[in-house]
Amino acid sequence: MVFSFFKKQDKKMPERPAARPRAPEPLPEVKVRPAAVEEESRPLPEPLPDLEFTPGEPIKPQPAPARSKPEKVAAATPKPAPAADSDFSIDDFDSDDFTESSVMAIDVNHDDDPLQACVEQVVVLYANGQDGAARSLLETFVRSYQGREGRRFWLLLFDLLQATGDRAAFEKLGTDYAQACEMSPPTWSRKSTETKQAAAAVGPRKIFLQGVLTSEGALPVGELAKLIEQKAKVVVDCTKLIGCDDEVAGQLADLLSAARKSALSVTLGGVDVFIDRLNSRLTAGEAEHEPSWRLLLEMLQRHGSQEAFEERAIDFAVTFELSPPSWEPRVASAIPAEGASQADTADDAYYLSGELKGCRFDELAAVIDAAEHPVLDFSGVRRLDFVSAGQLVNRLAPYKAAGREIVIRSPNHLVAELMAVVGLNKQARILVPKS
């Protein structure tokens, strides 16, 4: 008997159709034309022209036509750099990116003034304190530029010799100048450089007291003390003075009293408002602010009536049980009114002197604001460095933009040329003495 190891399935699995190869796609029909037909369909070539041959001469082959060169693409082929010895012109460069002046990027047209570069070189050396190098260049330039063309260098050299005190060289240069330029040379100042600096301020120096003065910020009071010690003429402008503490009031009272008793020219201006404020602050019978009382009496002595002075002097005596000062004739007056003649009043200019190095000119704001026609006198200035010149430009530029005219008077030629280099002549009117 035969046994089956597997159970018989009730249903048979469906048979899978066998894979059949796919019939290839038919190739496109290629029509083959008979050769005879193809020959007949071709166009016949054009007949060659008749050639004439000369007996005895070989046939010369015709040269092949020259091939046309491909056009160059400008963007693909870089332009070769010029050789080192090539000649350029300034027109090859963008004028917006370059300037002809080598000094502080000041735009100077050397075509109009070919000497400007040399002048700049000299004044820069002098401003930096290199007197020997500046003198050497100037002595070279006065020989190189003959006649009136180089007169600027002569004047610069005269001022340098005057500033350095070399009178022998100054006198010798005067002889050479007269022969070369056919003009009278400048004359040597009788005063030495030091004396000239000390006495340059022929007009009064100005001190501006403004705001509320305290012992920590009373620099103008210290400057006033120095000027009084030097017996200089001083104008103290109190137009913007609001008040001061007792320590500053005592210093001012002592300085003004000493100047008055010594008959020194110390003039107070714009004190009426300050006197009223000081007067209202002090009360008779209250033993306080004694220095401020003394300052009030000193200002009344100068600018008040005798009646007002004596009234407050009695209050002072009662309050502090001290003998008050007595009324004295005035030896100083207020700033003269507009229209007064030059003979009746001192020059109203603001004087600067000495060597101006690293100056910020903080005081000029008050000077210019207080003057209707500001004049800055540089007759006593020996040297101006670049830092100070730049600061001066910054100080004056806002006033120029506001339409105010400021005059800078009597700088020497070395200082005046430096002012032009930094552009100060665009911010103020510069008046140089005639030589």
Please determine, for residue 90, whether its predicted confidence score (pLDDT) is greater than 60.
no
Average pLDDT of the residues of the chain: 74
pLDDT value of position 200: 42
Assign 187 a pLDDT band (cuts: 50, 70, 90): confident
pLDDT value of position 123: 92
Rounded mean pLDDT, 206-218: 84
pLDDT value of position 367: 82
Please determine, for residue 355, whether its predicted confidence score (pLDDT) is greater than 70.
yes
Please determine, for residue 336, whether its predicted confidence score (pLDDT) is greater than 80.
no
Please determine, for residue 103, whether its predicted confidence score (pLDDT) is greater than 70.
no
**Strand order through the sheet with 266-269:** 205-208, 234-237, 266-269
Percent of the chain having pLDDT more than 90? 30
pLDDT value of position 16: 59
Determine contact, residues 168/161, Cβ cutoff 8 Å.
Answer: no
Rounded mean pLDDT, 253-262: 90
pLDDT value of position 26: 59
Rounded mean pLDDT, 105-121: 63
Name which of 83-92, 272-281, 344-353, 355-364 the model is least confident about.
Answer: 83-92
Name which of 91-100, 151-160, 250-259, 274-283 the model is least confident about.
Answer: 91-100
Find which of 7-16, 105-114, 396-405 is predicted with most confidence, using mean pLDDT: 396-405
Please determine, for residue 15, whether its predicted confidence score (pLDDT) is greater than 80.
no
Assign 3 a pLDDT band (cuts: 50, 70, 90): low
From the centroid of its chain, how far is CA 289? 47
Name which of 120-134, 172-186, 291-305 the model is least confident about.
Answer: 172-186
Residue 339 Rama label (left phi>0; alpha psi -120 to 50; beta): left
Find which of 149-153, 166-170, 332-336, 413-417 is predicted with most confidence, using mean pLDDT: 413-417
Please determine, for residue 136, whether its predicted confidence score (pLDDT) is greater than 60.
yes
pLDDT value of position 246: 93
Please determine, for residue 97, whether its predicted confidence score (pLDDT) is greater than 60.
no
Report H helices in 146-218. Answer: 151-164, 167-181, 193-198
Assign 413 a pLDDT band (cuts: 50, 70, 90): very high
Q: At 218, is the secondary structure helix, strand, or coil?
A: coil
pLDDT value of position 204: 63
Please determine, for residue 86, whether its predicted confidence score (pLDDT) is greater than 50.
no
Please determine, for residue 318, whether its predicted confidence score (pLDDT) is greater than 50.
yes
Please determine, for residue 78, whether its predicted confidence score (pLDDT) is greater than 50.
no
Residues 6+ apart with CB under 8 A from 93: none
How many angstroms separate the CA atoms of 77 and 43, rounded?
A: 46
pTM value?
0.48
Please determine, for residue 368, whether its predicted confidence score (pLDDT) is greater than 60.
yes
Rounded mean pLDDT, 36-65: 49
Rounded mean pLDDT, 309-317: 92
Q: At what angle do helices 413-421 and 386-401 cross, to 10 degrees?
A: 60
How many angstroms separate the CA atoms of 240 and 211, rounded?
A: 6
pLDDT value of position 157: 92
Assign 304 a pLDDT band (cuts: 50, 70, 90): confident
Please determine, for residue 10, whether its predicted confidence score (pLDDT) is greater than 90.
no
Measured CA angle at 350 (ends 244, 369), to 5 deg = 60
pLDDT value of position 2: 52
Closest CA to 356 of 129, 106, 104: 129
Name which of 3-7, 257-261, 392-396 the model is least confident about.
Answer: 3-7
pLDDT greater at residue 248 or residue 90:
248
- What 8-state DSSP symbol labels residue 378? E
